[in-house]
């Protein structure tokens, strides 16, 4: 591929939860993976924090960090990866928006670079993205001695972190146009990189 052909490609940036999918799979995977005992403990300890979150006094990224610690701390890495693969094959496929799949296929047919940029977890997103031939920038769990620490490896991939990761991973000048697809305030920094924005599946002026 010569330089002219390369620069004729577009970059398409897709949020996953509630954009490609109908639902929030970060939360769904927590309940899918987590034991009933941990769910009970989480409900007991996280209820005050969740109330503060619902009142919009703390950001979603802070709420997710608490949830990740309660759900995953000490859990076997092998078990989490196994459950993530199962979840990808059993749950994601049935929850994909047809309009999102059509757009992804359109971009791929044009030879565009398509990237999923999500606060959701690599445990279940990576398998689906590999099967679809898509790049992935997302949140990763940290592991030590083959067990989850209950912390992220790096930052939660939301808000400004989405924009930072995209800019770090790709030279935006290499693409003739940038498309951004999202549904929430957490996507706005990423969408600010785009020439063409589709927000909640409606084209939005920038």
Q: State the pLDDT at residue 53.
A: 72
User: Looking at residue 32, what is its pLDDT?
Assistant: 94
| Predicted local confidence at residue 51, as pLDDT | 76
What is the C-alpha to C-alpha distance for residues 197 and 126, in angstroms, rounded to an integer? 24
pLDDT at position 1: 44
127 Cβ neighbours under 8 A, 6+ residues apart: 84, 85, 88, 89
* Token pair 């044009």: residue: 110
- 3-204: what CATH class? alpha beta
Beta partners for residue 136, in sequence order: 116
Residues recorded for the chain: 206
Domain boundary assignment for the chain: 3-204
Nearest CA to 35 out of 63, 62, 70 is that of 70
Three-class DSSP category at 44: helix
Per DSSP, the three-state class of 35 is coil
Residues 6 or more apart in contact with residue 92 via CB below 8 angstroms: 21, 25, 124, 128
Q: What is the pLDDT along the chain (206 residues), one digit of tens a residue?
A: 444 444 569 999 999 999 999 999 999 999 999 888 777 777 767 777 777 777 777 788 888 998 899 899 999 999 999 999 999 999 998 999 999 999 999 999 999 999 999 999 999 999 999 999 999 999 999 999 999 999 999 999 999 999 999 999 999 999 999 999 999 999 999 999 999 999 999 887 65
Encode burial over 69-78: b for 16+ CB neighbours within 10 A, e otherwise: bbbbeebebe
Both structure tokens of 145: 């001695």
Question: Which two three-digit tokens encode residue 152?
Answer: 């992220």
Rounded-to-integer distance, Cα 120 and Cα 135, Å: 14
pLDDT at position 205: 62
C-alpha 172/C-alpha 189 separation (Å) is 15
pLDDT for position 2: 45
Query: Are 125 and 140 contacting, i.e. CB atoms less than 8 angstroms apart?
Result: no
pLDDT number for residue 204: 73
pLDDT for residue 199? 96
């Amino acid at each position: 591929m010569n330089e002219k052909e390369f620069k004729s490609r577009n970059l398409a940036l897709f949020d996953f939860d509630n954009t490609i999918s109908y639902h929030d799979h970060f939360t769904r995977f927590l309940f899918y993976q987590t034991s009933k005992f941990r769910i009970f403990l989480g409900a007991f300890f996280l209820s005050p924090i969740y109330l503060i979150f619902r009142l919009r006094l703390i950001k979603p990224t802070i709420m997710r960090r608490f949830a990740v610690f309660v759900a995953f701390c000490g859990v076997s890495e092998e078990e989490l990866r196994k459950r993530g693969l199962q979840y990808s094959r059993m749950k994601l496929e049935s929850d994909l928006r047809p309009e999102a799949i059509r757009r992804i296929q359109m971009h791929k047919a044009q030879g565009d670079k398509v990237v999923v940029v999500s606060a959701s977890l690599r445990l279940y997103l990576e398998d689906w993205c590999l099967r679809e031939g898509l790049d992935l920038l997302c949140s990763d769990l940290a592991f030590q001695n083959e067990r989850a620490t209950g912390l992220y490896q790096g930052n939660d991939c939301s808000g400004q972190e989405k924009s930072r990761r995209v800019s770090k991973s790709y030279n935006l000048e290499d693409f003739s146009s940038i498309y951004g697809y999202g549904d929430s305030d957490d996507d706005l920094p990423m969408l600010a990189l785009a020439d063409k924005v589709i927000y909640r599946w409606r084209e939005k002026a920038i």
